[in-house]
Amino acid sequence: MARTLWKRHFTTAKRLVDRGRYREALERLEARPRPEEPEWWRLRGWARWHLGDEAGLEDVRHAAEVKQQGAGWAWQDLGALLFRRGDWAGAAHALERALDHFRAEGDTEGAAWALHGLGVSALHQGGLAEGLERAEGAWATVRRAAITNFAGRALVLLSCLHRARGELAEALFRAEQALGKHLDADDRLVALRAKGTALRLGGRPAEALPLLKEAASRAGKGVRRAAALAELAPALLLLDRAGEAERAVGEALPHLGAHAPARGRALVALAELARRRGQHGGALELLRQALAVGPYPLMEEALTFPELFDLAARRGMEFPRVQPATAKPGVRLCPYGVRRLWVGEREVPLEGSGRAFDLMVYLALEGPASWEVAASALWEGESPKVLYQRLKHTASRARDLLADAEAVRLRGGLVSLDPERAWEVVGGRGRFLEGLWSEWAAGQREKSSDSQ
């Protein structure tokens, strides 16, 4: 009976934490302490930290170290808190521990969360290649296991990483994908900000403004609104609305002590305001403070405020700066043995993408084709209606793999690859498109055997 009552008490405290009512949650937890329960430590630590008590981190760490089943989520929480503190390396260590636990316990959703967190941590340390690999892994896990409630977060992270690499078309594609998902209120806010910032960095601040304003208006109060205002301010500056930008940053900064990335962006906006007023010394000092937060988001803000970063370069200051991508990277496909796909120099995971890879191989080898002919190369024994729907869905999955709405085109009854890219089918060891049983695939295997 006593344990049942405590569980009810604990559940109430958890709901209070979820609603951001940390003071009430902490009072409930400390009124009925259960130090033998790891979950008590975890929840108390989360509440304490959000009330400004750094000792909350040690509570969560203790929970992670003593918990048996489900320890991955305690390590995940610790990683999240360390991230918000700006301790990227510490966050990555905790998230690696979380990922190990999730994989050992077969917790697919937990693994997606940990991979996402590791991608975020790498991004904020400037490890863009590692970050993109982690984020692609998270998105592939979401696709494979149909973790629909996590799709928005994975796609927004991909959008952020593409932005930081100067791949603005891909960034916009991922943000729009995220907004097309069924999102809760928080995830929708983040997706609105992602699309708005991708548009702004791409030189379209007027289109970005209503999205960023909507995000700020929906965010309520506190840190969520402050983070939205930090992304709104640069768009206002680009539209020569300096007074509004200054007010947005002034409202945001007091709430961003526990949100390092948004604080860095707000400081850049203040630095640009100072530069425009001729206060170059102050502008450079603000840039130094932003850099102390980490290389991101400075690297992408150089696209928005080139004159500010040119000033810094003339004064001998070195900052990470990204250049916008000018051409689409080439695609290599290896259909032999284990299927492998490379976009530029990075390999893209294929889990959960169905026959999208096989369709791209077919089109790379055979060229444009009627949808009926292309579909019959991948599926047999289906009605035309079913074949068309399958091909349409598979073409969409191929676009997803490349983050490009033009990667595979289906127009006027013709299906084709994007001619702006270089496409190459490369050799390898093993059977051609293992598991694909069609007349076309069998013919290609015969050709492969003859050539050997």
Q: pLDDT tens digits for 138-154? A: 999 999 999 999 999 99
**Element counts in the chain: helices (H) and strands (E):** 22, 7
pTM for this model (two decimals): 0.92
Lowest mean pLDDT among 186-200, 257-271, 350-364: 257-271
Q: If we measure between CA atoms, which residue out of 104, 113, 249, 262 comes closest to residue 189?
A: 262
Contact 346, 330 (CB under 8 A): no
Between these two residues, 326 and 401, which has the higher pLDDT value? 401
Distance separating alpha carbons of residues 150 and 144, to the nearest angstrom: 12
pLDDT (mean) for 397-420? 97
Distance separating alpha carbons of residues 292 and 332, to the nearest angstrom: 39
Judged against a pLDDT cut of 60, whether residue 2 lies above it is answered with no
Residues 6+ apart with CB under 8 A from 362: 369, 374, 377, 378, 440
End-to-end CA distance of the chain: 74
Q: Which pLDDT does position 52 carry in this prediction?
A: 86
Length, in residues, of the chain: 452
- Name the average pLDDT for the chain: 93
Burial of residue 38 (CB within 10 Å: 0-12, 13-18, 19+) is buried
Quick one: angle between helices 260-276 and 223-238, nearest 10?
A: 30
pLDDT (mean) for 307-326? 91
Q: If we measure between CA atoms, which residue out of 339, 357, 354 comes closest to residue 402?
A: 357
Query: Phi and psi (nearest 5°) for 408?
Result: -125, 120
Judged against a pLDDT cut of 60, whether residue 451 lies above it is answered with no
Burial of residue 8 (CB within 10 Å: 0-12, 13-18, 19+) is exposed
Q: How confident is the model over 219-233, as pLDDT tens digits?
A: 988 888 999 999 999
Contact 358, 366 (CB under 8 A): no
Distance separating alpha carbons of residues 356 and 94, to the nearest angstrom: 35
Q: pLDDT category, 5, cuts 50, 70, 90?
A: low
Is the dihedral angle over the CA atoms 366, 369, 372, 378 positive or is it negative? positive
Lowest mean pLDDT among 80-84, 257-261, 435-439: 257-261
Q: Which pLDDT does position 293 carry in this prediction?
A: 86
Cis amide bond preceding 295, omega within 30: no
Q: How confident is the model over 100-112, as pLDDT tens digits?
A: 999 999 999 999 9
pLDDT (mean) for 261-275? 96
Q: Which pLDDT does position 386 carry in this prediction?
A: 95
Distance separating alpha carbons of residues 241 and 235, to the nearest angstrom: 9
Is the dihedral angle over the CA atoms 210, 212, 213, 215 positive or is it negative? positive
**Percent of the chain whose predicted confidence (pLDDT) is above 70:** 98
pLDDT (mean) for 32-49? 90
Distance separating alpha carbons of residues 345 and 209, to the nearest angstrom: 34
Judged against a pLDDT cut of 90, whether residue 19 lies above it is answered with no
pLDDT (mean) for 58-84? 90
pLDDT (mean) for 400-418? 97
Q: pLDDT category, 257, cuts 50, 70, 90?
A: confident
Q: Which pLDDT does position 242 carry in this prediction?
A: 97
Judged against a pLDDT cut of 80, whether residue 449 lies above it is answered with no
Lowest mean pLDDT among 59-68, 190-199, 386-395: 59-68
Judged against a pLDDT cut of 60, whether residue 433 lies above it is answered with yes
Distance separating alpha carbons of residues 314 and 74, to the nearest angstrom: 47
CA 61 to chain centre: 25
**Percent of the chain whose predicted confidence (pLDDT) is above 90:** 77
Residues 6+ apart with CB under 8 A from 168: 162, 198, 201, 202, 324, 325
Q: Which pLDDT does position 450 carry in this prediction?
A: 54
Contact 156, 191 (CB under 8 A): yes
Between these two residues, 75 and 85, which has the higher pLDDT value? 75
Q: What is the DSSP code string of 205-247?
A: HHHHHHHHHHHHHHS-STHHHHHHHHHHHHHHHHTT-HHHHHH
pLDDT (mean) for 380-406? 95
Query: Phi and psi (nearest 5°) for 172?
Result: -65, -40
Residues 6+ apart with CB under 8 A from 2: none
Judged against a pLDDT cut of 70, whether residue 309 lies above it is answered with yes
Quick one: angle between helices 71-85 and 108-124, nearest 10?
A: 20
